[in-house]
Structure 1
């Protein structure tokens, strides 16, 4: 087995198990504090988009990783929609629409263009989680193991993409990995006592409540 294949299947394993710690925590606690719904909607688009991209470039490990990741992403969205009292189908709609756009661009313009566009949902997913970690009053609903695996997964896929090489994956893995590392660091700071940074609107309302 080549180095590329080893890294590809290592990325597959980490991607498949990536969402499981968060799914288990959410199913056990029903606590969504610190979780971002837009982030998980974007993760849905990422899973679907990269499944299609893996098929397009003939990389089985990428297909398996992204497709099996749906087994945690979709249930997480279902549980979040239940807790937030939202329609499950409407909750899925933004992710499905964004995934369709990603696939269309990949087919029409190729891997480089796809990689540039694929940054958008990847950044939305991780940056959306960043906002929740920064602003939410509590982060008890977030699984630290999920955040750790998110960093590890992007490092593996970056190494894989450099060996293949695949421009789309290099661009996306680098950008996403930086944000995933920020999320882990900020979560750690919150657990250690760093207070939330409320939005301006929330800050304006706070004195009125007091």
Structure 2
């Protein structure tokens, strides 16, 4: 194994586990307080786009991590679509379109351009969750373990990308890691009693709709 393989495979492990705490919490509690649908649609684009990018640059850790992360992202989107009474396939559509754009730019313009464009869904995913954490009256639906793993995952991918000199991943991991760290800090502040800023006016439904 090369030096880059260690953070790469560690990043793979955390990426695979990343969505599982949130999926388990959502399925167990049916509590969606503090969760952002646009964020998880963007996570879908990120998973598909980075799987394709890993194939393009021939890096197995990135391929495995991104592909397997979809195993939790897609079920979370399914549960959220049920809660919002939306068609599941239409719920997936924005993420699929974003992923197609990312893949096209990677193939046409290369890794540097891809890294810059890949920031869009990555920022939407993480900043969308930031907005939900800031504005939601309650954040009980969010898994703190998911937030911790999100920070750790970006730190590992940043280390990996520096070692393999992949500019696209350096740009994306550095930026999204900063936002992920903010989310963890703000979630902690909310749990300690900091009130929401510009709270949503409507009282959110606390639980997923159950089949009749």
TM-score (norm 2): 0.94
SS of structure 2 residue aligned to 1:3 = coil
Shift of 1:3: 1.6
Q: Tell me the secondary structure at the aligned position of residue 7 of structure 2.
A: helix
Quote the Cα distance in structure 2 between the aligned partners of 1:184 and 1:83. 25
Kindly state the Cα deviation for residue 137 of structure 1 after the two structures are TM-superposed: 0.4
Structure 2 residue runs of 5 or longer lacking an equivalent are 204-212
1:146 maps to 146
- Alignment partner of 1:91 is 2:80: no
Q: 1:27 deviation in Å? A: 0.4
Q: How do residues 57-68 of structure 1 correspond to structure 2 at under 5 angstroms?
A: 57-68=57-68
Structure number with higher helix proportion? 1
Query: Residue in 1 aligned with 2:197?
Result: 197
Which residues of 2 match residues 72-111 of structure 1 at below 5 A?
72-111=72-111
CA distance in 2, matches of 1:143, 1:86: 23
- Aligned equivalent of 1:9: 9
- Unpaired runs of 5+ in structure 1? none
The aligned residue for residue 186 of structure 2 is 186
Counterpart position of 2:69: 69
Q: 1:6 offset after TM fit, Å?
A: 1.0
In 1, Cα distance between the equivalents of 2:121 and 2:112?
16
For these two proteins, the number of residue pairs brought into alignment is 203
Residue pairs, 1:148-187, within 5 angstroms: 148-187=148-187
Alignment of 1:50-61 (within 5 A): 50-61=50-61
In the aligned structure 2, how far is the partner of 1:111 from the partner of 1:150? 23
SS at match of 2:12: helix
Q: Which has the higher contact order (CA 8 A, sep 6+)?
A: 2
C-alpha separation in 2, matches of 1:26 and 1:8: 29
The root-mean-square deviation of aligned C-alpha atoms, in Å, is 1.3
Name the residue aligned to 1:123.
123
> How many Å apart are 1:85 and its aligned residue?
1.2
Task: Compute the displacement of 1:198 (Å).
Answer: 1.8
| Separation (CA, whole Å) in 1 of partners of 2:9 and 2:178 | 22
Structure 1 match to 2:24: 24
Q: Which residue of 2 aligns with 1:39?
A: 39
d(CA) in 1 for partners of 2:47, 2:70: 6
Once residues 3 and 34 of structure 1 are traced to their aligned partners in structure 2, the CA distance between those partners, rounded to angstroms, is: 39
- Provide TM-score, normalisation by structure 1: 0.95
Shift of 1:130: 0.1
User: Once the 2 structures are TM-superposed, how far is the Cα of residue 48 of structure 1 from its aligned partner?
Assistant: 0.1
